[in-house]
Structure 1
Amino acid sequence: MNAPVQLSEVQKVYGSGPGAVTALGGVSYSFAQGTFTAVMGPSGSGKSTLLHCAAGLDEPSSGEVHLAGTPLRGLDETALTELRREHVAFVFQAFNLMPALTVRQNIILPQTLAGRTPDEAWVTEVIKRVGLSERTRHRPSELSGGQQQRVAIARALAGSAAITFADEPTGALDTQTALEVLTLLRDQARASGQTIVMVTHDPVAASYADNVVFLVDGHIVSESPVPTAESVAAELAKLSRLARRGAAAAAAGESTPGVLT
């Protein structure tokens, strides 16, 4: 299969000298086309740093990232912005909605900025699937936090981007809406060939993915290709215990590099 997102020996270090903090310790991984992958790990494992480097939002200290077939090293911010606008959608914990625009206008904004004509039928379907059909003329200030998150998710899916990066996309949603959104993400990967990379702490959310990648201390340590909520929770608990032991060893004076999320 093609791999629209590829990381090769990606290392990210913040600072220098004795105070340097290693967020990623040489990660190599390919996210295949048409797959929905969840990235999990204990607090401080490097999940968000991996996502940011993969999306070209943060530059690795070393290693290579290819996004939509394009190597990111050496691209200036304008080129990176154009690449992301053409191929990538985002769902982050900050909703980044335009306050003066309606729900529908916010959802189609990336396509408008890119000079593309939205697929109105698909936009309407996405709005329906995230439960916003009665809110299309409302502005963000008239919505709850959960409703604003639904707008952000609909915006990411409406343009049918080749790649979607999502950081805790269901964290602000009620259980039923969260499950509907996760089903929509899974369906998009399978039916439309989108590549979806989701950072989450929720084993139930991760169970909707095709594969779960686990990080500890900036390294991929295991995968779960047939995830269930129970198996994911058990693996995460095991890795959290290992991470605590490593932190205790570091506090006792052993040499262990720091790690950030």
Structure 2
Amino acid sequence: MLRTDALTKAYGGGPGTVHALRGLSVVIPAGTFTAVMGPSGSGKSTFLHCAAGLDRPTSGSVLLGGVDLAGLSEARLTELRRDRIGFVFQSYNLVSSLTVWQNVGLPLRLAGRRIDQEWAREVLAHVGLAERLAHRPAELSGGQRQRVAIARTLVARPEVIFADEPTGALDTESGRDVLGLLRTAVDTYRQTIVMVTHDPVAAAHADRVLFLADGRLADTLDAPSAEQVAAWLGGLGSRC
């Protein structure tokens, strides 16, 4: 589903150049849940932005379903993000004046695509919002707002979802529920999810963890537990 080859991203020039990514090569299979972790400045967010086509790499390539993003114009990149990529961020990015139902369907309406109402209702029921369709964001808890954001993404049927600290603004219980929904999206709908997180508990919901350090892939961990992730992060300095 997603592959990067020698992905490099540098900011500035000369002695002051900052290398956010240094030759990063990873493969993320379809229908899997991948967590991306590392200390501040490790390149997590830059990786997500480049992989999602939000930023262009300095060199190397990003292939989404076999399409090289580097060869696309800005207009084509915008079209690809709209039609094939979904996003879930720490901030919910909901329109306050619209209802849950309207928020979920908004991206499809803006893209001129027909809303599959049966599918939308199934997704909304699955995330526990079937009784909240007429509510507006101000009438929902933080966890419920993030559920709306996840439902909005799933309804569009993207090929891959990029999640950037999706539980960062939530309490423990709401965060656990949201992570369970992301896990179910993979297991039930065969969705592909790439999630940047700093939380070992969140990472434990993934199939695999990619650990970044200084813009490079430092290690991977399959079928992670929260304890394994925490132990790895605790010994990061001795590994790099």
Counterparts of 1:146 and 1:192, CA distance in 2: 21
Which of residues 79, 103, 108 is equivalent to 1:106?
A: 103
Percentage of pairs with the same residue: 57
In the alignment, structure 1 residue 235 sits paired with structure 2 residue 240: no
Unaligned runs of 5+ in 2: none
Counterparts of 1:157 and 1:178, CA distance in 2: 18
Residue 127 of structure 2: aligned partner? 130
SS at match of 1:161: coil
Counterparts of 1:22 and 1:128, CA distance in 2: 44
Residue 249 of structure 1: aligned partner? none
Which of residues 39, 43, 51 is equivalent to 1:42?
A: 39
Matching of residues 206-217 of structure 1 within 5 Å: 206-217=203-214
Residue 153 of structure 2: aligned partner? 156
Q: How many residues align?
A: 240
Q: 1:134 to 1:174 in 2, by over 3 A?
A: farther
Residue 139 of structure 1: aligned partner? 136
In the alignment, structure 1 residue 115 sits paired with structure 2 residue 112: yes
In the alignment, structure 1 residue 226 sits paired with structure 2 residue 223: yes
Residue 198 of structure 2: aligned partner? 201
Counterparts of 1:137 and 1:215, CA distance in 2: 42
The residue type paired with residue 111 of structure 1 is L
Residues 54-94 of structure 1 show CA distances to partners (whole Å, capped at 9, x for unaligned) of 00001001101112321111322211111111111000123
Q: Is the 8 A contact 1:153 1:169 kept in 2?
A: no
Residue 256 of structure 1: aligned partner? none
Residues 119-148 of structure 1 show CA distances to partners (whole Å, capped at 9, x for unaligned) of 334323433343434432222344444433
Q: Is the 8 A contact 2:103 2:152 kept in 1?
A: yes
Counterparts of 1:129 and 1:193, CA distance in 2: 15
TM-score, normalized by length of structure 2?
A: 0.92
The residue type paired with residue 52 of structure 2 is A
Residues 133-168 of structure 1 show CA distances to partners (whole Å, capped at 9, x for unaligned) of 443222234444443323212211222211100001
Which of residues 29, 32, 35 is equivalent to 1:32?
A: 29
Residue 96 of structure 1: aligned partner? 93
Which of residues 75, 88, 109 is equivalent to 2:72?
A: 75
Residues 219-246 of structure 1 show CA distances to partners (whole Å, capped at 9, x for unaligned) of 111111120011011111111x459xx8
Q: Is the 8 A contact 1:38 1:211 kept in 2?
A: yes
Q: Is the 8 A contact 1:162 1:193 kept in 2?
A: no
The residue type paired with residue 50 of structure 1 is F
Counterparts of 1:38 and 1:232, CA distance in 2: 11
Unaligned runs of 5+ in 1: 247-261
- By how many angstroms is 1:53 displaced? 0.3
Counterparts of 2:134 and 2:16, CA distance in 1: 51
- By how many angstroms is 1:111 displaced? 2.1
Q: 1:212 to 1:237 in 2, by over 3 A?
A: same
Counterparts of 1:160 and 1:147, CA distance in 2: 20
The residue type paired with residue 160 of structure 1 is R
Counterparts of 1:61 and 1:99, CA distance in 2: 37
SS at match of 1:7: strand
The answer to which of 121-130 and 70-79 deviates more is 121-130
SS at match of 1:73: helix
The answer to which of 34-43 and 140-149 deviates more is 140-149
TM-score, normalized by length of structure 1?
A: 0.85
The residue type paired with residue 5 of structure 1 is L
- C-alpha root-mean-square deviation of aligned residues, in Å? 1.9
Counterparts of 1:188 and 1:153, CA distance in 2: 9
SS at match of 2:219: strand
